[in-house]
Amino acid sequence: MQKYKIKKISKEISYKVWQKSKNSSVFNNPNFLSFFNGSQFFGAYKGDELFCCWPALIEDSEFKIPDFFYYLGPFWSEKFYKTPNHSKFSLTNDIYNCYIDTFVEKFKKIHFQLHYSLTDIRTFDWYNYGLKSSKKFTIKNRYTALLSNLQSKKSEDLLSNYRYVRRYEIKNFDKFKENIIITDASVSDAADLYLNNYHSSNKKEIDNTKRNIVKLIDISKKGYGEIIAYKEKKTNKLIMFSLVFFDKLNVNLLINCANREWRNKGIMAWSLNEKLNIYKNKFNIFDFNGANSPNRGDDKHSYGAEEKLFFELKYDNN
């Protein structure tokens, strides 16, 4: 008989755990996920005690991760963190195995990402251990870039950690500042600006990306984040916008894009420095959300961000 049972739980129960969890982010916030179709929440219980919550977005019996999402996966309760270290491995192993058994039975495909604070993936790696003909989890290393301890930093501390070229761009941009205004961008204009930098000829993929951006911008205005946009005074055209989301301690940079002309003038570095100087008074961690290609990784680390490993896992029942 299993010690632990997986039960479907309400958003409200899951959110109470999320509020005190060390693995929480905006992307696994039950209230945030409720804006998306197919949100479901699964709790791991021992008797009446809830140890872990696993939120998921389910569509056609498959786990889905929307565009621009990170860390959509389990988070552990305060009860778990009070467990003695000598018991934690067996507890996590047992609970993860219960989740796996439940999900493999119920769903055709399982796709999730672990929060970067959850690095022990052995249970998933060991699933069907030694059974060569049995299906396994596909595990992929992913990276993000973090600026930590923001609240202890002064403006000059941030600047001194930037690569020289970023400091130069910020200083050089002073001569262009009078030509731009901060503005409330229309959702459609912001999505179009992003797609102008988007390298895809697949119309279905482009349309889906646009819908996702529009939806995320709309959700950000419900208290989960904000859009910061700039227009060129002369033309009144949108030239840059950033979409950020917040959770308890973190600010997450989901989208940051500008047209080529203004990007070449240094608006990206200048605007990011502006944001960091605002957010350091409110949050302790700035998460660039992804550093998984050579150019993006190099750019994000040029601001002094530290790499952070996290894992993406998939299981296909078909």
Largest CA distance in the chain: 72
Instruction: Provide Rg for the chain, Cα atoms.
Output: 21
pLDDT of res. 106: 96
pLDDT beyond 60 at 263: yes
Q: What percent of the chain has pLDDT over 90?
A: 85
Q: What share of the chain is helix, strand, coil (3-state, %, to 5)?
A: 40, 30, 30
Q: What percent of the chain has pLDDT over 70?
A: 98
What is the tens place of the pLDDT at every residue in 75-100?
Answer: 999 999 999 989 999 999 999 999 99
Ranges of each domain in the chain: 5-142+312-316, 149-283
Mean pLDDT score of the chain: 94
Fold agreement between 5-142+312-316 and 149-283: yes
Q: What is the number of other CB atoms lying within 10 angstroms of the CB of residue 15?
A: 19
Q: What is the number of other CB atoms lying within 10 angstroms of the CB of residue 240?
A: 24
pLDDT of res. 185: 82
Are 8 and 40 in contact, with CB atoms under 8 Å apart? yes
Q: What one-character DSSP code corresponds to residue 305?
A: P
Token pair belonging to 91: 């507890």
- In terms of Cβ atoms closer than 10 Å to its own Cβ (0-12, 13-18, 19+), residue 102 is middle
For the domain spanning 5-142+312-316, the CATH number is: 3.40.630
Token pair belonging to 48: 């009446």
Interval 12-27 mean pLDDT: 96
d(CA 107, CA 315): 10
Return phi, psi of residue 280, to 5°: -65, -15
d(CA 79, CA 84): 11
d(CA 143, CA 308): 5
Token pair belonging to 148: 């930590």
pLDDT beyond 80 at 101: yes
**What is residue 8's three-state secondary structure?**
strand
* Strand partners for 231: 181, 238
d(CA 272, CA 278): 10
pLDDT of res. 209: 87
pLDDT beyond 80 at 1: no
Write down the H helix ranges in the chain. 11-20, 30-33, 78-81, 85-106, 122-125, 155-160, 164-172, 187-196, 203-219, 260-265, 267-279, 294-301
116-120, 204-208, 294-298: least confidently modelled range: 204-208
d(CA 201, CA 147): 34
pLDDT beyond 60 at 20: yes
pLDDT beyond 70 at 288: yes
pLDDT beyond 80 at 151: yes
Residue 149's region, left for phi above 0, alpha for psi from -120 to 50, else beta, is left
d(CA 143, CA 57): 22
What is the tens place of the pLDDT at every residue in 229-252?
Answer: 999 999 999 999 999 999 988 999
pLDDT of res. 218: 93
Are 166 and 268 in contact, with CB atoms under 8 Å apart? no
What is the tens place of the pLDDT at every residue in 37-83?
Answer: 999 999 999 999 999 999 999 999 999 999 999 999 999 999 999 99
d(CA 155, CA 299): 20
CATH class of 149-283: alpha beta
What is the tens place of the pLDDT at every residue in 177-208?
Answer: 999 999 888 888 999 999 888 766 778 888 88
